[in-house]
Structure 1
């Protein structure tokens, strides 16, 4: 763990997990203005021409992705600044038979953008406008906007937000298409639950491209396309250029009333467990406490719906550098009745009987945006070569599973000082939405688990990837090495953390296909939508939705 990471732990914000609008004069005019204006791309172009090898801009675009295991080197990049430019790019590629990939924030954990089969990468980073659209009576956000910028603009302009993830630089395009959850999701659902409409550039069988706006209105003939982008994952059906957000049930045309209002203040707390005394039995108690608490307190009517907690388990190499074996962090809406007492009860429940004397830095009361910014800064310290796996849980990990985590975290068969397993709060309002209402199918889980390793040396790829694979396989050994939905308390995987091992019979021996882990029973409908909207299979990747 870096010195910066340790400082964030002490400050009370911790690793989890995936600008003022009015003051800057940003337009609140109809979204058509955002669609037609031309913003200059890198080097002064408007994004209408290919950027090919030899162009001084190409190398920066090739290495822009966050996971440094992968470098995208397509035949060309196209930096789009308007929907019309995306339409032209998709049409040209479709007619010439070129495979297309799209990138907004560049946070993909697998090599979908850098796949050699991809010949054109459309980069949406310059499409980052946030504005109120009075015709839609919804807030329009372009797909290249980064999460923290979106949160800040929504907050400063109208005092509202979206219940999305923590990383500041994740692009909203792929994040929302995969569902998108974070610290406010137990209270407000996933980000995709608040999508009213989506603009998608698609191509027909003849290679003709067009932009389609699909809404959640029952009578919309394009409604299936909207549904597919509420958890169906990015890169499957077309290029999302814009979302419009308005919460279900919201009425009127005041943007300050159309989306959730975040807490005014957050109580931020931490409990830091030292390496000394963290035995196998102690970890079993700690992780079991966390899971059992969430089993009891993840109903939508729970007084703890405004509480978001995480438990980060650190590997031995990371412990040596930091002196810590685990960190429990909590964010609570400070405006809840008895908020401090709720926080104290939660901390007591998680620490009860662990038998390790923790360090408790204290509780900080922070403005919501400040707490959210610090949470993002903490998460974004981990940079380099990465491998990630995920699991939804309907109940606590078992004693055997926790012992397995202890064994692997305590091992020395990898070289990373940034290896961890992070358990995070889920459930609450998320689980009130029927699984078929959106493409986000995981509506029964109470905890999400992130298995993550980050390292720097390319020569260490095999040992670090292998260590994470073995730990994950052994944790879910009774279900074929993967968290099969409905078996032994598991509920599948999160598509925004794609993992090709789920489609590899060497690591998935369950007999359950990868798509059931990510989409459960929603996959059949996604396949039908794929057949209608991408008949030429212009878009796709190794975990992409397959047509019927």
Structure 2
């Protein structure tokens, strides 16, 4: 990635706030019409559906499928891909793989940050990209979404069709299949909770001990004998228990049959802001103050009933492009529910709290107002601007970083031993309604954090793999030096986000805490996930490097 490209990335990240009103949604209500329905639940292998053909290396489509993943460090080159369009076809594929002993992996949007789909042991990849229907299911009083549907398509269909949405992530092209199984959070989560908090039912293709595959629909109903399988898919991570083919969503407590009242309604308008902090004058003390301001503001304003529950923001801290980089040292962006009568004052007060006592003159790009969907499209475009070879790490924070942690990050972001094609650390708003369920109510155990932190590095040349990965590892290790190089759940941190998987958490060279990787991702919910694994995947058909092991 060239330096200008890196700057486009930074500009896009900032303007997730400021330019939210500059992009049109790009669809018409006609495009939001309900799509085709999927296959029926409860199918068994050999149920009469036309099987999907294997796409092998001799097929011209194979190379496109092999390189479809978002992280260009990895390619998937199994013996075959299976492009499924119905649940029955997935049942057939899983049954064949289970009985033959072939390792099988599933892919929906292709956004996994580790090599769980492309690892050598995987012989069959079931690709769900063509299973993308979104419709209202009257029988279940819930919205059915197939696992291959991508977030922005889901948002547009739900919003244009019924005026509702899910509080999921920002990236437009992330597939729902893996997003929901990890919990799924985004710009509306402080107000409405995680996307998985609205999951009513899930259809999963599983294999029994004899290798027989079937599709099971599990719901959150207390008397559902399959309820534990539903629970495991509210934060237990993808690729562990079976292949998810369909989800149904209805907000807990929602009543009646009007679809427009069964999921959250986003605000009609959104206010967006962005503030740029130049490198000039941003010494260690100034950097310390800015990061502390941001963290302490979130400590004070992350209750579910806070007037700031409708605010989602981020503090993006980019690495230097080169020794004399004239770019920004930090970028603050925010989205705020624009329907509040005091929204502009709240947003201005937020910016004032972040900049208080920081001895750097920032460039305030002001406040813009736009429709919720336009703002969401703009945020998605900024998230998806640059692609390449990537490494990512995450952390939940309960409190602001200490000065020592901020100093360690400052040193790594500003040293000159690295090319910094697109290195950044982003502290993003969390908490609010996310923290109201009990930690055991869903498989998502992180219910008292106020920030989610993303350490990310993106580059283009494979020759830079070692340098770029090493930089990110060292930066992360040093920030969490007092807890063994990882965010051990405790007073300040609360583990990691499974949708940003990082195999280093299971590597004693980088995790010297003595705390196992599964505690970082699942905390006290892991033994229960192990029991679900033992019950629903007794043959061990599904798994990966950070996979749940049976009890």
> Does TM-score exceed 0.5, indicating one fold?
yes
**Equivalence map 1:476-515=2 (5 Å):** 476-486=480-490, 488-515=491-518
Aligned to 1:334: 338
Distance of 2:323 and 2:363 partners within structure 1:
15
- Bigger mean CA deviation after superposition, 435-444 or 413-422: 413-422
Other-structure match for 2:30: 23
Q: Retained in 2: the 8 A contact 1:20–1:153?
A: no
Q: Following the alignment from structure 1 to structure 2, what is the Cα–Cα distance between the partners of residues 74 and 121?
A: 7
CA distance in 1, matches of 2:157, 2:28: 5
Instruction: Kindly state the Cα deviation for residue 360 of structure 1 after the two structures are TM-superposed.
Output: 1.1
**Whole-angstrom CA distance in 1 between matches of 2:317 and 2:222:** 45
Q: Distance in 2 between matches of 1:26 and 1:276?
A: 51
1:287-312 Cα offsets, whole Å, 9 max, x none, are 00000000001011111100111000
- Give the one of 516, 519, 522 matched to 2:522: 519
Measure the CA separation in 1 of the matches of 2:135 and 2:144.
5
In the TM superposition, what is the alpha-carbon distance from 1:22 to its structure 2 partner? 5.5
1: CA distance between counterparts of 2:548 and 2:366? 47
User: Does the 8 Å contact 2:12/2:385 carry over to 1?
Assistant: no
What is the DSSP-based 3-state SS (H/G/I as helix, E as strand, rest coil) of the residue aligned with 1:361? strand
| In 2: Cα distance, 1:75 partner to 1:372 partner | 39
Greater Cα shift, 319-328 or 51-60: 319-328
Aligned equivalent of 2:307, options 303, 310, 317: 303
1:244 and 1:119 mapped to 2: Cα distance? 30
| Alpha carbons of structure 1 residues 149 and 47: separation in structure 2 relative to 1, 3 Å | farther
Q: Once the two structures are superposed, what CA deviation does each residue of 1:327-347 show, in whole Å capped at 9, x if it has no partner?
A: 000100001130011001110
2:174 pairs with 1:170: yes
Match of 1:90 among 90, 94, 99: 94
Check conservation: 1:47, 1:79, Cα contact below 8 A.
no
1:41 paired residue number = none
Q: Is the Cα contact below 8 Å between 1:74 and 1:116 reproduced in 2?
A: yes
Per the alignment, in what secondary structure is the counterpart of residue 364 of structure 1?
strand
Task: Tell me how far apart the structure 1 counterparts of residues 234 and 368 of structure 2 sit (CA, whole Å).
Answer: 35
Tell me the equivalent position of 1:144: 148
Q: CA deviation at 1:254?
A: 1.2
Q: Is residue 15–residue 379 contact of structure 1 (8 Å, CA) maintained in 2?
A: no
Please report how far the alpha carbon of residue 8 of structure 1 lies from its aligned counterpart in structure 2 after TM superposition. 3.4
Shift of 1:10: 6.7
Separation in structure 1 between the aligned mates of residue 32 and residue 147 of structure 2, nearest angstrom: 21
- After superposition, the Cα gap between the structure-2 partners of 1:404 and 1:209, relative to the gap in structure 1 and judged at 3 Å, is same
Taking the TM superposition and a 5 Å limit, the aligned residue runs for 1:155-234 are: 155-234=159-238
Note closer, same or farther for the CA distance 1:9–1:74 as it changes in structure 2 (3 Å cut). closer
Shift of 1:319: 8.9
**2:23 counterpart residue number:** none
Aligned residue runs from structure 1 range 282-301, under 5 A: 282-301=286-305
TM-score norm. by structure 1 comes to 0.95
Shift of 1:413: 2.0
Aligned to 1:42: none
Deviations 1:174-201 (A, max 9, x none): 0000000001000000000000000000
For 1:165 and 1:512, how far apart are their aligned partners in 2?
Answer: 29
Moved more, 131-140 or 336-345: 336-345
Find the partner of 2:123 among 119, 132, 152.
Answer: 119
TM-superposed CA distance for 1:173, in Å, is 0.6
Aligned with residue 74 of structure 2, among 66, 70, 74 = 70
For residues 177 and 335 of structure 1, do their structure 2 counterparts lie closer, same or farther at Cα, with a shift above 3 Å needed? Answer: same
In the other structure, the counterpart of 1:40 is none
Residue 160 of structure 2 corresponds to residue 153 of structure 1: no
Tell me, what secondary structure is at the counterpart of 2:514? Answer: coil
Q: 8 Å contact 1:35–1:84 — kept in the other structure? A: yes
SS in structure 2 at match of 1:289? helix
Q: Taking structure 1 as reference, are residues 320 and 66 closer, same or farther at Cα in structure 2, changes over 3 Å only?
A: farther
Structure 1: tracts of 5 or more residues without a match: 38-44
Question: Match for residue 532 of structure 1?
Answer: 535
Gaps of 5+ in 2: 21-25, 42-48
The whole-number CA distance in structure 2 between the counterparts of 1:545 and 1:56 is: 35
Give SS of 2:190's match.
helix
Q: Could you report, residue by residue, the CA deviation over 1:308-327 in whole angstroms, capped at 9, with x for unpaired residues? A: 11000010117966611110
Deviation, structure 1 residue 26: 3.2
Contact 1:247 1:259 in 2 (8 A): yes
- Give TM-score, length-normalised by structure 2: 0.94
The 1:14–1:435 alpha-carbon spacing in structure 2 relative to 1, beyond 3 Å, is: farther
Provide the rounded CA distance (Å) in 2 between the counterparts of 1:489 and 1:307: 22
Q: Deviations over 1:362-390 (max 9, x none)?
A: 11101101111111111111210000000
The match for 1:544 is 547
> Structure 1 residues 357, 47: CA separation in 2 closer, same or farther (over 3 Å shift)?
farther
The one-character-per-residue Cα deviations of 1:439-479 (angstroms, maximum 9, x if unpaired) are: 00000100010000000110110010000000000000000
Q: Give the Å deviation of 1:34.
A: 2.5
- d(CA) in 2 for partners of 1:153, 1:73: 33
CA shift in 2, pair 1:47/1:295, >3 Å: farther
Counterpart Cα distance in 2 of 1:427 and 1:337: 23
